[in-house]
Amino acid sequence: MRRLRILVLMHPDCMPPDSSDGYAAEEINKWKTEYDVVSTLRAAGHDVHPLGVQEEIKPVRDEIEGFKPHVVFTLLEEFHYQTAYDQHIASFLELMKVPYTGCNPRGLVLARGKDLSKMLAHHRRVAVPAFAVFPMRQKVKRPPRLALPLIVKSLNEDGSHGISQASIVDTDEKLIERVAFIHERIETAAIAEQYIDGRELYVGVLGNNRLKALPVWELQFGTMGGARQIATEKVKHDTRYQERVGIVDGPAEDLTPELAERIQRTAKRIYRTLGLDGYARIDFRLASDGTPYFIEANPNPEIAKSQEFATAALHDGLDYPGLLHRIVALGIRRAKAGVSVG
């Protein structure tokens, strides 16, 4: 790839240092994705400008007009302290007619709501858990069709935010308590889903029109004891806990080739159904009867070198610089095609 001017948007608290030497694992974990992306693209010879963005859009416009990037690599997961506002950054970049990486605005909106994404996937004959949504400031009453146990989550937050062992409820009293927790602590509507007792599987998908599904990846929970094997905040983000109990991710073993291919095909179908492009991770729970249940779609997932998207790509023969260049090329190609699905 020719030398490019690349503007990298990120949260101000995630601005990485020039070197990771001397930092503890907990510190590196906060900005590992930003560090890996910036350092790798620079090592490939590109002119890379990191920019912290949170409350004001003007710095983005100023940087676009002054730096004149060939492409904007967006690592923003929120704007103005709201995760739901990441779509507005993509929309702004489209209005500025600047190529950008990752998903288009409409795809971000459709994937954000766990209820809407499940309804659309179900319409395309994808298996989804039964669920009910509990809006803010409304009485919580479990529909009779929704059998316990359930797992209660924020309707539109990602990164396992607000998920713990207490998220799995087996009585109506516990359901009411956990929904209240989501409403009061996370400050969003809650969704209660049928709890699928099974394996946690991920499939990365790359592409705009022609899609490539990465190998089926599995989150393995190590020696969590009697705890339910779910991707809690602690499981996903606490590096000390991960090391202590042996939480790792890697290729999903013991899947028949037919089942693995079925899961990859389903991931592509969900990707297209939600209008995603660029790159995304599709999350499943594999039940004991072999049914892969769609849990959620994550456009623009974490792509640190050690995260499952990058490690699955490497397992498939695509190294980290190659992955980042593929993501950049997809953003530029979408802009050249003049296609806006936002």
Joined tokens for residue 3? 């030398």
Q: Name 281's bridge partners.
A: 204, 298
Q: What is the pLDDT of residue 161?
A: 85
User: What confidence tens digit (pLDDT) does each residue in 146-184 have?
Assistant: 999 999 999 988 878 889 999 999 999 999 999 999 999
b/e map 236-254, b = 16+ CB within 10 Å: bebeeebeebebebeebee
pLDDT, tens only, 31-83: 999 999 999 999 999 999 999 998 889 999 999 999 999 999 999 987 877 77
CA torsion, ordered 168, 110, 127, 147, to nearest 10 deg: 30
CB 312 within 8 Å of CB 201: no
Class of domain 198-336 (CATH, top level): alpha beta
Label each residue of 53-114 as H, E or C: CCCCCHHHHHHHHHHCCCEEEECCCCECCEHHHHHHHHHHHHHCCCCECCCCHHHHHHHHCH
Give the tens place of pLDDT for each residue, 187-198.
999 999 999 999
Residue 178 is given by DSSP the state: H
130-194 CATH fold: Dna Ligase; domain 1 (3.30.1490)
Categorize the per-residue pLDDT at 342 as very low, low, confident or very high, splitting at 50, 70 and 90. Answer: very low
Q: What residues does CATH 3.30.470.20 cover in the chain?
A: 198-336
CATH 3.30.1490 residue spans of the chain? 130-194
Phi-psi region of 246 (alpha: psi -120 to 50; beta: other; left: phi over 0): left
pLDDT at 26: 81
Greater confidence, 75 or 239?
A: 75
When pLDDT is cut at 50, 70 and 90, the band that residue 85 belongs to is confident
223 — pLDDT class (breaks 50, 70, 90): confident
**Would you say residue 341 has pLDDT above 80?**
no
- Cα 72 from Cα 219, distance rounded (Å): 31
Structure tokens at 35: 């560090």
- Mean pLDDT value across the chain: 93
HSE (side-chain half, CA atoms, 13 Å) at 241: 11
